[in-house]
Amino acid sequence: MATTIVSGGETSTRTGVERDWMAWALGIVVVLIAAMFLIYPLVNAALLAFVKNGEPVSVANLTFANFARFFTAASYQRALWNSMYSGVAATLLATALALPMAYAVARIDMPYRGLISAMTVVPLISPPFIGAYAWIILLGKNGTITQWVHAYIGWTLPAIYGPPGVILALALSYFPYVFLIVQGALAAADRHIEEAARMAGASRARILGTITLPLVLPAIAAAMLIVFIKSIGDFGVPSILGGEFQVLPTLIYYQIHGFFNLGAASAIAMVNVLLTLAAMATLAWIHRHRSFVTIGGTAEAAPRHTGLGARSFGNAYCWLVIVVAILPQIVIALASFAGRWPGTMLPESYTLDHYRAVWSQLTRPIANSLILAGGATALCVVFGTATAYASARDRLRARWALDLTIMLPFVLPGLVVGVAYLTAFNSGPLVLTGTALIIVLAYFTRRVAFVFRSVATAIAQIDPKLEDASTICGASWGTTMRRVLVPLAAPAILAGAILVFSTLIGEISATVLLYSAKWKTISVAIYELVLGDQLAQASAIGTITTVMTLLLVLIASRLAGKNMAELFR
């Protein structure tokens, strides 16, 4: 009778690796990088909030003066209230738009379901502020739709500036998160559970209300919180469409660009972070109390409605939402080619002048964007993969600390990360202001979570016994990583990497605080053009950016073997 080898849980053999110096070396480097560039800037910024502007950080100087402004200054209070108000409103609108769409794509037998899902990715990868000024073109004072409605219907539409525009633009940018997450949850539902309800006597409507919806409620809640977090951290949309409507991110920007009041900026950032953390805590609480894992379920999808009425309605609704959601991109594209466009439906004449004009100005910003994004991506890949391995293989005792360190900057507003880097490396042992490195590091901080999450999931699905088998055959830890793990995790690494790269091309929130004249990126170029009211040229660059990003994400998904929608879930 053969003796069975003790097969443990998911951890690989410890004795072999712990003696391997290479693992240790990598571990130390990872900890150093995490400490210097993930933890230190944020902690430093947090401390600065408690010190008056210009004074050094020391126990004697601690004060709540910066925070006191929230009780004394009307602008602060308004910004806080506006952030919460627009965040909640955008979340509700996004959810209302996305839920029927998610149900339709998951449960109605519609043609082109895959195409609909793929199209929803477009708002996600286009930088939101690019879409924001499309709304100005459409619904601004001399906007196309405004003039059309006035001419043919006689109404005077309210201006798009201010809360309505901000909420609309935010909702349309972020509703795909709700769609993708909820649609995924509905599609993965165990069909037998709904069939069991049917056999017990429930009609289709009762099943929807008592079984289907309650089971996807956690997914809906999670998605709503993601939209909320992203909305209150968004800088681009409120800065372009807000007008007098200040929110916390624009207030931060104002404090820095107007007064260089780092203390005040940090304090506002802390409050924004508090809001984010409160939302995340709620999310974690929901997941803990209601994790409905339907393990042992079948692989067959739930049946779809096939009635003509359901299909027509589903199609009409989905395409309507998609058209409205990508309308900004279409408008931008049209505007980039428009000669004269005096408020008619379509431009009167077309021209390539705008592209010609920006072409000469474009080479530097594009090169800068590519270099900076590329550098940050490389850093993300190395660091992200190493930490993902550590996290997935449960080799660290304080795994939660690692997870938090990586995921926290991901959910923080870009502006907050910008502030943190600005303050951390403005003086002291390491001065990086105005360099390319500070931008690369800020990008790295904001996006490493993409690689981390993607690779950690992939590694968790790779049987640790493969590494054991390699070790028994005589391979060192480094060799096992190189020849076994990395090749198997490669699609996930690649997917994460291109996701990082493509979304960094259009990054504005952190860049706007950290760039120097030498290191202007595409997004800054667009931003400056918009502020200078040169919308046509901004549109040209914007269109190029969107198309480039879309192509990159398409390639990424092909290489990773998934469809685009799955990359973002």
Partner 1 sequence: MADAALSVRNLTKEFAGRSGNVAAVRNVSFDVGGGEFFTMLGPSGCGKTTTLRMIAGLERATSGDIEVDGKDLRSVPPERRNIGMVFQSYALFPHLTVFENVAYGLRLRGRPRNEIDRRVAATLALLQLEALSGRHPANLSGGQQQRVSIARALVYEPTMLLLDEPLANLDAKLRVMMREEIRALQRRLGITTLYVTHDQEEATAVSDRLAVFDGGRLVQVGTPEEIYARPRTLFVADFIGRANFLPARLAAPGATAQGVVLADGTSLCPQRQVRLEAAEVASLPAAEDGTVMIRPEHVALSATDGEIACRVQRVQLLGGLIRYTVRSAASPEDILVEVTRPVSDVSEGGGAFLRIPREDAVLYHR
The pair of structure tokens assigned to 485 is 């793990």
The nearest distance, CB 109 to partner 1, in angstroms, is 14
| Nearer to partner 1 among residue 211 and residue 371 (C-beta) | 211
Of residues 298 and 344, the one with the C-beta less far from partner 1: 298
Residues touching partner 1: how many (CB under 8 A)?
25
Q: Which of 294, 363, 433, 461 binds partner 1 (CB under 8 A)?
A: 294
Q: Which residue has the tokens 């390491």?
A: 430
Q: Which two tokens stand for residue 420?
A: 């943190």
Look up residue 558 and give its amino acid.
R
Q: Shortest distance, CB of residue 291 to partner 1, whole angstroms? A: 8
Least Cβ distance, residue 302 to partner 1 (angstroms): 12
Q: Which region among 292-300, 401-409, 497-505, 547-555 touches partner 1 (by CB under 8 A)?
A: 292-300
Q: Which residue, 196 or 278, has its beta carbon nearer to partner 1? A: 196
Q: What is the DSSP string of 324-385?
A: HHHHHHHHHHHHHHBS--SSSSS-S-B-SHHHHHHHHHHHHHHHHHHHHHHHHHHHHHHHHH
Per-residue buried b or exposed e for 22-41, using 16+ beta carbons within 10 Å of the residue's own CB: ebeebeeebeebbeebbbbb
What angle in degrees, to the nearest 10, is found between the helix axes of 113-125 and 74-107?
160
CA dist 275 → 80, 287, 422, 562 (Å): 10, 19, 22, 34
Pick the closer one to partner 1 by CB: 78 or 198.
198
- Please identify which residue in 19, 141, 257, 290 interacts with partner 1, judged by CB under 8 A: 290
Interacting positions 174-213 with partner 1 (CB under 8 A): 190, 192-193, 195-203, 206, 210-211
Stretch binding partner 1 (CB under 8 A), from 114-122, 148-156, 285-293, 470-478: 285-293
Residues 75, 298, 363, 516: which binds partner 1 (CB under 8 A)?
298
Q: What phi-psi label fits residue 536: left (phi over 0), alpha (psi between -120 and 50 degrees) or beta?
A: alpha
* Cβ proximity to partner 1, 11 vs 298, nearer residue: 298
Q: How far is the CB of 424 from partner 1 (least distance, A)?
A: 44
User: Is 209 strand, coil or helix?
Assistant: helix
* CB 317, min distance to partner 1, A: 26
Q: How far is residue 556's CA from residue 405's CA, in Å, rounded to a whole number?
A: 26
295 versus 398: smaller Cβ distance to partner 1: 295
Residue whose CB is less far from partner 1, 202 or 469: 202
Would you give the distance in Å from CA 355 to the centre of its chain? 29
How many Cα atoms occupy the beta-carbon half-sphere of 366 within 13 Å?
13
Token pair for 27? 């571990």
Largest CA distance in the chain: 91
- Residue 459 neighbours by CB under 8 Å, 6+ apart: 388, 389, 392, 393, 485, 489, 492
CB of 190 to partner 1, least distance (A): 7
Residue 101 Cβ vs partner 1, minimum distance, rounded to whole Å: 24
By beta-carbon proximity to partner 1, the closer residue of 54 and 296 is 296
307 binds partner 1 (CB under 8 A): no
Instruction: Enumerate residues 36-95 that contact partner 1 by CB under 8 A.
Output: none
Least Å from the CB of residue 295 to partner 1? 9
Residue 443: partners with Cβ closer than 8 Å, 6 or more residues away: 372, 373, 375, 376, 504, 507, 510
Please pick, from the candidates 33, 215, 372, 432, the single residue that binds partner 1 as defined by CB under 8 A.
Answer: 215
Judged by CB under 8 A, the residue of 114, 158, 209, 297 near partner 1 is: 297
Q: How far is the CB of 200 from partner 1 (least distance, A)?
A: 4
d(CA 219, CA 565): 16
List contacts with partner 1 (CB under 8 A): 190, 192-193, 195-203, 206, 210-211, 214-215, 290-294, 296-298
